[in-house]
Amino acid sequence: MAKTEKKARGKRAQPKGPALQFGGKWAYAPAPESTDVVTLRERYDLFVGGSFVRPKSRRWFPTVNPATGHSLAEVAYANAADVDLAVQAAKKALPGWRKLSGDDRARYLFRIARILLERAREFAVLETMDNGKPIKETRDVDVPLAAQHFFHHAGWADKLELLFPGAAAGQKPEPVGVVGQIIPWNFPLLMAAWKVAPALAGGNTVVLKPAETSPLTALLLCEVFQQAELPPGVVNVITGDGATGKALVEHPGLDKVAFTGSTEVGKQIQAAVAGRKVDLTLELGGKAAHLVFEDAALDQAVEGVVRGIFFNQGHVCCAGSRLLVQESVHDTFVQKLQRRMARIRVGDPLDKNTDMGAIHSQAQLARIQELVQAGVDEGAELFQPACSLPRHGYWFAPTMFTGVTQSHRISREEIFGPVLSVSTFRTPDEAVQKANDTSYGLSAGIWTDKGARILWVAERMRAGVVWNNTFNRFDAASPFGGFKESGFGREGGRQGMRAYVRMPGALLPG
């Protein structure tokens, strides 16, 4: 094994040591890190021009395993000079990449997708260690969906003229150019795939910046690009914090910025590109309403609500964080939910039986705690099932508030954690009015037995995605994106490709 690499080994994590009192609950000493699937390097460099290169900044920073609070590895910090090198590499690669036939670009995308699946276990384990999410989610959702995005967009690469027939006669849809892409920490590999796959299919080149607290799978993806022999510079990955992202957004060499993250940072980015000839798409926060009508199959709806808010510890932009239940079934539904919440297994994310893993970071835990305290202070009623939380790392029990009003902070602000707020409605009109009473507009869910009601409610919902009798289902062919302060632009499907091509001579602006 190379001197700079360490193999993370150990037994399957078991609670061990004496039980300790923590936050009013019984807890256990930390679980050992446990995998022989992943080889961790001590240090990760930047990926620029097809190779891993030391940062000009000569700085590295730690990335932490949220389940233990321990550092996993050090990651290069990209300063403005490093950002510049990455943009120059993407610029240099652009003429060659855009000149390739769609068919040839598709071959690279297929290759990337296949290698990703071949290395699925490695990606799943590394994502779980770096992010804190349960292995059954990285294994069954994040990695397969990431591969699906490369497969799906490979299919578009040679069909752009069919997809966008609006260009003037004899002209083809063209790539936008060099794209700066910035992603958050909640689905690190999946967000990288959502961004990179359509960009490459459209003939663009990329500088990608993953979040500072979960950069490892984007860096492992660079190894896949090397394995697939993607031409150097077509994708560059730079790691760093908000200042790195800001330097990327402000770089004059970009033709487009694609950002996924908080509404607050999205607004800063919108201001930074204003007045420049730079395309922009923003995928921002959410505060989804999840509506349960009295005629719904209540047991199925309980499962949907649990998936809607506790999947990925609630670190989900489209999480169903506001549950609106028809008054006549409120008490029954809440009792069912409480019983179901008591069966959620919280603990070692590498254990395949775990339902809810670690909160992603100390900062995120502090935000969740602050908003939960606000819920209590404002008079909502708190419910948490008795559950054992590990002593080290960052943890929070599944949480539900009842008696929540529209004015409570927990009902208005994105908590981005495993916290559900419940309120009631009497009529469909009132349900729609309450659901839309938010500054966000990313997603919503409806549970009812009546097809006509689904259609009536769905068409009144100001949300980019409306799930019916299900929740948190994703597909590469299905466009995803928001209204209002949840951003603009779509990712996935035909609409997602539109953001990565320009239409010369088209009547409508390209």
Q: Which residues bind ligand NAD (CB under 6 A)?
A: 182-186, 209, 211-212, 241-242, 245-246, 249, 260-262, 265, 268-269, 283-286, 317, 414, 416, 442, 482, 486-487
Closer Cβ to ligand NAD, 63 or 402, answer by number: 63
Among candidate residues 33, 137, 317, 414, the one labeled active-site is 317
The secondary structure element, H or E, covering residue 188 is helix 188-201
Q: Which residues contact 334 (CB under 8 A, 6 or more apart)?
A: 325, 400, 402, 422
Nearest distance from C-beta of residue 272 to ligand NAD, angstroms: 7
List strand residue ranges (DSSP E) for 151-295, in order. 174-175, 178-182, 205-209, 235-237, 256-260, 279-283, 289-292
Cα 62–chain centre separation: 21
Instruction: Give bridge partners of residue 281 from the DSSP assignment.
Output: 258
Q: State which residue has the least CB distance to ligand NAD.
A: 245
Nearest distance from C-beta of residue 345 to ligand NAD, angstroms: 25
Is-catalytic flag, 485?
no
Q: Is the dihedral of CA 124, 213, 215, 263 positive or negative?
A: positive
Q: Which residues contact 438 (CB under 8 A, 6 or more apart)?
A: 287, 289, 322, 412, 484
Closer Cβ to ligand NAD, 203 or 215, answer by number: 215
User: Is there a contact between 40 and 6 (Cβ–Cβ < 8 Å)?
Assistant: yes
Among candidate residues 212, 283, 485, 491, the one labeled active-site is 283
Q: Is the dihedral of CA 311, 316, 322, 324 positive or negative?
A: negative
Nearest distance from C-beta of residue 55 to ligand NAD, angstroms: 16
Is-catalytic flag, 317?
yes
Nearest distance from C-beta of residue 246 to ligand NAD, angstroms: 4
DSSP of 263-320, one letter per residue?
A: HHHHHHHHHHHTTSS-EEEEE-----EEEE-TTS-HHHHHHHHHHHHHGGGG--TT--
Nearest distance from C-beta of residue 34 to ligand NAD, angstroms: 27
Task: State how far the Cα of 24 lies from the Cα of 47, in Å rounded to an integer.
Answer: 45
Task: State how far the Cα of 183 lies from the Cα of 215, in Å rounded to an integer.
Answer: 10
User: Is there a contact between 290 and 301 (Cβ–Cβ < 8 Å)?
Assistant: no
| Tokens 């950069």, located at residue | 215
Task: State how far the Cα of 13 lies from the Cα of 347, in Å rounded to an integer.
Answer: 10
Nearest distance from C-beta of residue 446 to ligand NAD, angstroms: 20
Nearest distance from C-beta of residue 465 to ligand NAD, angstroms: 10
Nearest distance from C-beta of residue 365 to ligand NAD, angstroms: 13
- Total count of residues recorded for the chain: 510
CB atoms within 10 A of CB 45: 17
361-367: Cβ within 8 A, 24+ apart: 361/64, 361/66, 361/185, 361/213, 361/394, 362/69, 362/394, 364/315, 364/394, 364/416, 364/417, 365/394, 365/395, 365/396, 365/417, 367/415, 367/416, 367/417
Q: Which residues contact 378 (CB under 8 A, 6 or more apart)?
A: 408, 409, 410
What residues act catalytically?
Answer: 283, 317
